[in-house]
Structure 1
Amino acid sequence: MLSFEEMIKEAQKAIEQVNNIIVEEMETNATECVGETQARTPVKTGNLRRSMTHDEVQKNGDTFKVNIGSALEYSEAVEDGHKQKVGQYVPAIKKRLVKPFIQGKHMIRDSVQLQQPKMIEDIKKRIEEEV
């Protein structure tokens, strides 16, 4: 029979093991999600697609999170859409703008929504197998 202190140590060991599994699975799934995001990202020069990445998994209390996206200044406009001034001439495309709003591509949002259920299942499966 385990003493109370030994039970506490075993419980802490299990918690640490679960936390490690969560971090590992989130890292793996974030990498897969970046690949999916890159596949969904529209391409003109390829810079936006190549810039997609993820941060390290962060733990704050009982919450884990990982950010996926791009640091390029225009990535948010491609993701969420943007306003533009109708009639303005843009030398880069050699045209005048005709639409007041360009719809976003939502490549990050859609990729995360696809990956989240898989990530949750992967975490559950590993915890059941290893803990």
Structure 2
Amino acid sequence: MVIDLAVQLQGKVKDNTPVKTGYLRNEWHVGSIEKRGNEYYIEVYNNVEYVEPVEYGHQTRGGKGFVKGAHMMELSLQEVQKHLPGYLREWMNDFLNTHEL
């Protein structure tokens, strides 16, 4: 389930990433699941050096203007979170039916 959500987020953030060359959009990755204590974590990440200025915005080269951020990760997280209750309900029903509980 955690991997499914991460892959879903990866797809949404790719769709929301602006494209000039396609390099930034194609560099979104899903990491491995990590267990920390009793919790599990998975990371959706992009190591392209200019991902943060594209996400949050930046000053223009001359410093006189500002380019607004695309907020591709922020918007994608909001979208996944909005659909999370239905996704969890569906996952729980599938689990219960599979295990005949």
Q: TM-score higher than 0.5 here?
A: yes
- Of the candidates 34, 48, 51, which is equivalent to residue 24 of structure 2? 48
Which aligned pairs between 1:22-61 and structure 2 lie closer than 5 A?
25-61=1-37
- Of the candidates 42, 63, 69, which is equivalent to residue 39 of structure 2? 63
CA distance in 2 between counterparts of 1:50 and 1:78 reads 14
Q: Determine the structure 1 residue equivalent to 2:81.
A: 116
Count of residues paired in the alignment: 96
Tell me, yes or no, if the aligned pair for 1:36 and 1:111 is still in contact at 8 Å. yes
Stretches (4+) displaced over 4 A: none
Q: Determine the structure 2 residue equivalent to 1:78.
A: 54
Tell me, yes or no, if the aligned pair for 1:69 and 1:108 is still in contact at 8 Å. no
TM-score (norm 2): 0.77
CA distance in 2 between counterparts of 1:37 and 1:80 reads 14
How far off its partner does 1:117 sit?
A: 4.0
CA distance in 2 between counterparts of 1:36 and 1:82 reads 23
Q: Unaligned stretches of 5+ in structure 1?
A: 1-24, 88-97
Q: CA 1:59–1:116 in 2, change beyond 3 Å: closer, same or farther?
A: farther
Q: Deviations over 1:66-117 (max 9, x none)?
A: 2213111111111111234426xxxxxxxxxx51x22111101111111124
Q: Unaligned stretches of 5+ in structure 2?
A: none
Which stretch shifts more, 120-129 or 105-114? Answer: 120-129
Which has the larger Rg? Answer: 1
